[in-house]
Amino acid sequence: MSAVGDSINAPNARWRFSGDVSATFDQHVRRSVPCYGEGHDLVAKLSDFFVGEESLVYELGCSTGALTRLLAERNRDKGARFVAVDVEPDMAAVARERCGPCTNVDVVVGDIVELEMKPADMIVAYYTMQFIRPRFRQMVFDKIYETLNWGGALVLFEKVRAPDARFQDAMTQLYTDFKLDQGFTEAEIVAKARSLKGVLEPFSTQGNIDLMRRAGFVDIMTVFKYASFEGFLAIK
């Protein structure tokens, strides 16, 4: 076990979101992902275009429920329902407590691959798909497309690989600089990278677009981009 920052310890190639991670996750992820909070704000504002009266909205991989609560509060007067899903019971417990005041939110412990979903107007996957095993990923995108009502939206944020080695090297160095600027030590940065081996499997921008297109999406655009972090909007 090695320290990766914010009182979190993780073993080589075995990063998990369970246990003590949930206690300091919000602080850790905001220091680890550029514009994390700004991305939440963008997703919430995008919901204005897709969440209507009696809409159903899913957040897949809700972690501590921060984004779900933001969405629920923004749309509280529309009669919309929000379902927050996370595979880790510890994360779901934090999300349930955070979203407790929101009567329009249900928090569910479940595996996205096996999750049964009802017709929805908006589905959010905020840095979630990159943690789904590649062999299951297309299946999940297919399920999302089938779940969405016509005109509904998938909002997908992902860490993405660069299109070739030269660009990837630059993006890796930029991200290292970002984490150093956030106060992580060199040892913590290396330990975190080692813990994510075989756990975090990002695809390229084109790889993510290909997954969405194979599922059936035609209308896709990038709505956020910071180095190797990208947000997509796909409309059915």
Q: What is the pLDDT of residues 41-78, one digit of tens each?
A: 999 999 999 999 999 999 999 999 999 999 999 999 99
Binned at pLDDT 50, 70 and 90, residue 154 comes out as very high
Would you say 60 and 125 are in contact if contact means Cβ atoms under 8 Å apart?
yes
pLDDT at position 18: 64
| pLDDT tens digits, 166-214 | 999 999 999 999 999 999 999 999 999 999 988 999 999 999 999 999 9
pLDDT at site 14: 64
Q: What pLDDT band is residue 25 in, cutting at 50, 70 and 90? A: confident
Which residues touch 99 (CB under 8 Å, ≥6 apart)? Answer: 65, 68, 69, 72, 84, 105, 107
pTM strictly above 0.75: yes
Note the pLDDT of residue 6.
60
Could you read off the pLDDT of 97-122 as tens digits, one per residue?
999 999 999 999 999 999 999 999 99
Distance CA 210, CA 168 (A): 19
In the structure, what pLDDT confidence band is assigned to residue 4 with cuts at 50, 70 and 90?
A: low
pLDDT digits (tens, 9 = 90+) for 128-142: 999 999 999 999 999
> What 3-state DSSP class applies to 211?
helix
Task: Set out the domains of the chain in order of their start, with CATH numbers.
Answer: 33-161+202-235 (3.40.50.150)
Residues 37 and 200: their CA atoms lie apart, in Å, by 21
The CA distance from 100 to 150, in Å, is 31
Residue tagged 């990278």 (tokens): 193
SS3 assignment, position 50? coil
Calculate the average pLDDT of the chain: 93
Tokens linked to 185: 């030590």
Parallel, antiparallel or unpaired: strands 229-235 and 148-159: antiparallel
Q: Sorting pLDDT into bands at 50, 70 and 90, what band is 38?
A: very high
End-to-end Cα, the chain, rounded Å: 44
